[in-house]
Amino acid sequence: MSIISQHDNQLIKEQFDELLNNLQRVTTRKNKDQIRKAFKVANEAHKHMKRRSGEPYVLHPIAVARIVSEEMGLGTISICASLLHDVVEDTDYTLENIENNFGEKISTIIDGLTKISNVFDKKSSLQAENFRKMLLTLSDDVRVILIKLADRLHNMRTLGSMPPNKRLKIAGETIYLYAPLAHRLGLYAIKTELEDLSLKYRHNKVYRQIGKQIKVNEKKRINEITKFSLPIISRLDSTKLNYEINGRPKSIYSIWNKIQTQKISFEEVYDLLAIRIVFDPMEGIPEKTQCWNIYSIITDIYLPKPDRLRDWVSKPKANGYEALHCTVMGPHGKWAEIQIRSKRMDEIAEKGLAAHWKYKKNGTGEDTELDKWIKKIRELIDDSASDALEFLDEFKLNLFSAEILVFTPKGHIKSLPKNATVLDFAYDIHTEIGDKAIGAKVNHKLVPFSHVLKSSDQVEIISSDKNKPQQEWLKYVTTAKAKSSITKSLKAETTNRIDLGKEILEKELKKYNVQPSGRVFKKLLPAYEVTSKDQLYSNIGSGIIKLENLKKVLRKKSSSKWIWYWRPQFGKQKPIEQEKKESKKFNFKQPFLIREVPDKSEAEYTISSCCNPIPGDDVVGYQDENGSINIHKSNCNEAVKLMSQHGNRIVSAKWTTHKVLSYLARINLVGIDKIGMIRNITEIISQQLSVNIRSLNVEVHDGVFEGLVDLYVHNTADLNNLILNLSKLKGVDSVKREEIVGT
Give the active site residues: 89-90
Find residue 327's DSSP bridge partners: 337
Side by side, which strands form the sheet with 692-701? 692-701, 704-713, 663-672, 732-738
Burial letters 228-260, b for 16+ CB under 10 A, else e:
bbebbeeebeeeebebebebeebbbbebbebbe
Please report, for the chain, how many H helices and E strands are present, in that order. 30, 20
Query: Residue 480 half-sphere exposure, CB side, CA atoms within 13 Å?
Result: 23
SS3 630: strand
Contacts 24+ apart (CB under 8 A), 258-264: 260/635, 263/668, 263/736, 263/738
What's the full length of the chain, in residues?
A: 743
Distance CA 207, CA 553 (A): 68
Q: What angle do CA 322, 328, 331 make, to 5 degrees?
A: 140
> Could you tell me whether strands 605-607 and 437-442 are parallel, antiparallel, or unpaired per DSSP bridges?
unpaired
Distance CA 81, CA 35 (A): 9
Distance CA 705, CA 262 (A): 19
Closest CA to 47 of 7, 98, 5, 4: 4
- Contact criterion met (CB below 8 Å) for 251 and 196: yes
Query: Residue 536 half-sphere exposure, CB side, CA atoms within 13 Å?
Result: 22
Closest CA to 249 of 283, 278, 215: 215
Burial letters 180-189, b for 16+ CB under 10 A, else e:
bbbbbbbbbb
Phi, psi at residue 66, to the nearest 5°?
A: -70, -40
Largest CA distance in the chain: 100
Distance CA 668, CA 447 (A): 39
Contacts 24+ apart (CB under 8 A), 587-592: 588/165, 588/623, 588/648, 588/650, 588/651, 589/163, 589/164, 589/165, 591/164, 591/651, 591/652, 591/653, 591/654, 592/621, 592/629, 592/651, 592/652, 592/653, 592/654
SS3 467: coil
Closest CA to 201 of 153, 166, 150, 149: 166
